[in-house]
Amino acid sequence: MRNYTLIRLIQQAIKQFRLDLSGYNVLVPVYSREHPMTAILAAMAGAKNIYVATREIETINKVAFYENEFEFSSNITFIEKETPQILSALDIILLGRGISFIDGAYTASLKKEAVISILPENLDFLKPDNINIEECTSKKIPIVCVEPADPNLSLYKHLAGIVTKRCRDNGVDLLRSKILLVSNGDLLDYILIQLKSEGAQVYTAHTDKPQDKAYMIKHLREADAVVVADYPQKSTLVVGNEGFIRVDDILSINPEVKIIHLAGKMQPNALTINRIHFAPVNIVQNTLNVNIAEMGLRSAVEIASASLKAAESLIKSKNRAILQDNSVVSYDIINTEGPEILGKVLY
């Protein structure tokens, strides 16, 4: 049944985003939870040639199963490493797990019409890694990513779902619990809505605004949990000895409070030494502390589809071949000024 579910979700996402990769040569990563997903997605969207950055036998066998079971023809090639010959033919590179570091030598082999779209494992579209942005800029190879706050993508809604799951996993009963939410912008709004829908009483502290210390202390005292979701990062330190929330204040007024982390700087050593509960145990400081494998299959398919759509849209806008009825996916061009929306020509 899971096999049929993947195909159904891909069909829905292709229709939702009007994804059309006809005639394009595409390089895709593997998705850490459902390895064949990106290859099957590109194939069902009509890509001419698909290169998958893996030689794992399990992935190869699963893709072969889908091709046989659902009788669709595709030209899928599994590669251990990108060669200059492959790179020179590519129209779209979906940067993710298994793709080589994109440096000057890499971009030198790409044709000038190529577009790089990112699909980060940690879902942080604002801070791409495994790529030399300056080299791409010098070669005029655009790097695109979906706009995280795009309502069509619902990324922040999915992140809010991860927050509620982490609360439950750490013994925070959201019904009638009191939560101090430390965040900013659109992500704060989505998490606030999600927590309140679960029955929690939520107090918000904005990292991008001056904060009343008395307000913080008052609600820290009665909180069952503090949710740290400072993304995009606005505070130099959210929880720490000299942080937005001070460790001394936690110890003196509410040492039993639980810290639930999604994004933002903290001092885990200070929390550990003072036996203050925090989760996850491994804190990632300068980016989102999540993994795409934590998301459901539907969410992953939608995010991958939107990322491919951003590249498709940019190519068509550059070629002045975009259609009026094409679905709008807002995206950022990382190595130029953004955000951009369908129809704007780069360079």
> What residues contact residue 197 under an 8 Å CB cut-off, 6+ apart?
none
User: Does the residue 191 lie in any domain?
Assistant: yes
pTM: 0.87
Tokens of 118: 């990112």
CA distance 52 to 59: 10
Determine the structural domain holding residue 221 and report its residue range: 171-276
User: Does the residue 288 lie in any domain?
Assistant: no
User: Does the residue 53 lie in any domain?
Assistant: yes
Q: Do 125 and 6 lie in a common domain?
A: yes
Q: Do 87 and 44 lie in a common domain?
A: yes
User: Does the residue 126 lie in any domain?
Assistant: yes
Q: Do 24 and 120 lie in a common domain?
A: yes
The tens place of each residue's pLDDT in the chain, 347 residues long, gives 556 899 999 999 999 999 999 999 999 999 877 888 999 999 999 999 999 999 999 889 988 888 888 877 779 999 999 999 999 999 999 999 999 999 999 999 999 999 999 999 999 998 888 999 999 999 999 999 998 888 888 889 999 999 999 999 999 999 999 999 999 999 999 999 999 999 999 999 999 988 778 888 899 999 999 999 999 999 999 999 998 999 999 999 999 999 999 999 999 999 999 999 999 999 999 899 998 888 888 989 999 999 999 999 999 887 655 555 565 788 889 887 444 444 443 33
Q: Do 7 and 131 lie in a common domain?
A: yes
- Single-letter residue type at 41: L
User: Does the residue 256 lie in any domain?
Assistant: yes
Q: Count other C-beta atoms under 10 Å from residue 240's C-beta.
A: 18
How many domains does the structure of the chain reveal? 2
Partners of 27 in the β-ladder:
51, 93
> What residues contact residue 199 under an 8 Å CB cut-off, 6+ apart?
174, 175, 176, 177
One DSSP character per residue, 139-193 reads TT--EEEE-TT-TTT-HHHHHHHHHHHHHHHTT---TT-EEEEEE-HHHHHHHHH
Q: Do 102 and 217 lie in a common domain?
A: no
CA distance 32 to 43: 19
Q: Do 9 and 102 lie in a common domain?
A: yes
The DSSP symbol for 321 reads -
Residue 85, domain CATH = 3.40.50.720
Q: Do 79 and 112 lie in a common domain?
A: yes
Closest-CA residue to 75 (of 51, 110, 96, 45): 51
Helix (H) or strand (E) segment spanning residue 339:
none
Q: Do 214 and 308 lie in a common domain?
A: no
Tokens of 66: 């889908």
- Single-letter residue type at 22: S
